[in-house]
Amino acid sequence: MAIDLTALSPKELDNLIAEAKRRKTVLRKRKPIAAIRKRIVDFATAEGYTIEELFGAGGRAAKAPGRKAAKKATGRKLGKVPPKYRNPANPSETWTGRGKQPRWLAAQIAKGKKLEDFLIRKK
């Protein structure tokens, strides 16, 4: 982690130093990872389990029987939405109201029309 110290003001540097000292204190109070890992292994062994049974091979969580695997999150997914606006000159051109306005709509609005003029009326 590289921080450009030359761009920081004296007040920002003091805040950074104070924050670093607080973080260092927190880390110093924590027990070493090896000690915690040993306690976890000892507890699992005492209960009759192995770490592989509990967490799977390589430390990954094992899939419990009868449970579906979690889907990998690849970003925010939105459901499909019906179109709200239609181009009267070309009815095949529609827009849902999400994302950037299509060029045909932006051009019509620039000419003075209102967005409401292009609403698809539900019957």
Which pLDDT tens digit goes with each residue over 64-117? 445 555 556 667 777 888 999 999 999 999 999 999 999 999 999 999 999 999
Ranges of each domain in the chain: 9-59, 85-118
**Threshold 0.85, pTM exceeds:** no
Q: Cα(86)–Cα(96) distance, rounded to whole angstroms?
A: 9
Q: Could you tell me which of 45, 37, 122 has the C-alpha nearest to residue 85? A: 122
25 — pLDDT class (breaks 50, 70, 90): very high
Q: Which two tokens stand for residue 56?
A: 């799977």
Contacts of 63 (CB under 8 A, 6+ apart): 56, 69
pLDDT of residue 61: 45
Q: Cα(100)–Cα(122) distance, rounded to whole angstroms?
A: 23
Could you tell me if 16 and 8 are in contact, meaning their C-beta atoms sit under 8 angstroms apart? yes
